[in-house]
């Protein structure tokens, strides 16, 4: 995503951690990890929460994975011959077809925030990796001022919440997934935390 404006405003530690996790998931889902990213994943550790245990499993998987293996795994999952095992797009999960109304609605919301797709990016904007990136950017204000919590909630409930948990659950059990099954566990747990957190802001 690109925009004409950028800023580095103060963001609280909790929000920065949320943004970091969104960005981390987006990075892993945008393409197979290189040596540096794989080493970073292997160095992670989590607590006893569902999310923490998923992060620990992800780190354990990374320690026994190679870049070459993960490139093959990523391709089987998301690219394949013609198509991969999973189609990580909001339009597909919400309508059963690609490039449908959810994508058009997302593009309208992104334009309203001054965001456009980068010229060198050919994936539709409703790809799960792009949506993780946008959520992270909204939280910390990478494309301007940090989005208020209510705006984050609106974007999440409209474009992430209705389908991302289902996608991550599918990734957890995908036949081709090993390390990415653990990515699915992290994503599913995190999306549920975010969903509950936004729900509580309404009470």
Span 143-155, pLDDT tens digits: 888 999 999 999 9
Q: What distance in Å separates the CA atoms of residue 133 and residue 79, rounded to the nearest whole number?
A: 20
Name every residue whose Cβ is closer than 8 Å to that of residue 125 and which is 6 or more positions away in sequence: 103, 106, 107, 110, 117, 131
Give per-residue pLDDT as tens, 86-129. Answer: 999 999 999 999 999 999 999 999 999 888 777 777 789 999 99
Q: Is the pLDDT of residue 25 over 90?
A: yes
Give per-residue pLDDT as tens, 154-173. Answer: 999 999 999 999 999 999 99
Cα dihedral across residues 197, 198, 201, 203: positive or negative: negative
Helix (H) or strand (E) holding 176: none
**% helix / strand / coil in the chain, to the nearest 5?**
60, 0, 35
Give per-residue pLDDT as tens, 187-201. Answer: 999 999 999 999 988
Report how far apart the first and last C-alpha atoms of the chain are (Å, whole number). 33
Residue ranges of domains in the chain, CATH in brackets? 13-200 (1.10.3480.10)
Secondary structure class of 6 (helix, strand, coil): coil
């Amino acid at each position: 995503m690109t925009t004409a404006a950028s800023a580095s405003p103060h963001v609280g530690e909790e929000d920065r951690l949320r943004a970091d996790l969104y960005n981390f998931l987006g990075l892993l889902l945008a393409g197979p990890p290189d040596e540096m990213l794989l080493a970073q994943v292997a160095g992670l550790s989590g607590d006893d929460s569902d999310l923490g245990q998923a992060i620990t499993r992800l780190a354990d998987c990374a320690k026994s994975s190679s870049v070459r293996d993960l490139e093959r795994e990523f391709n089987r999952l998301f690219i394949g011959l013609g198509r991969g095992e999973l189609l990580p797009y909001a339009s597909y999960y919400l309508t059963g077809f690609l490039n449908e109304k959810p994508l058009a609605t997302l593009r309208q919301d992104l334009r309203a925030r001054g965001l456009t797709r980068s010229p060198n990016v050919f994936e539709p904007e409703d790809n799960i990796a792009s949506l993780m990136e946008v959520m992270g950017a909204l939280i910390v204000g990478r494309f301007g001022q940090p989005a208020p919590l209510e705006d984050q909630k609106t974007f999440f409930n409209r474009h992430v919440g209705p389908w991302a948990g289902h996608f991550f659950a599918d990734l957890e059990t995908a036949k081709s997934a090993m390390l990415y099954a653990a990515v699915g566990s992290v994503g599913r747990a995190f999306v549920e935390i975010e969903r509950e957190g936004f729900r509580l802001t309404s009470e």
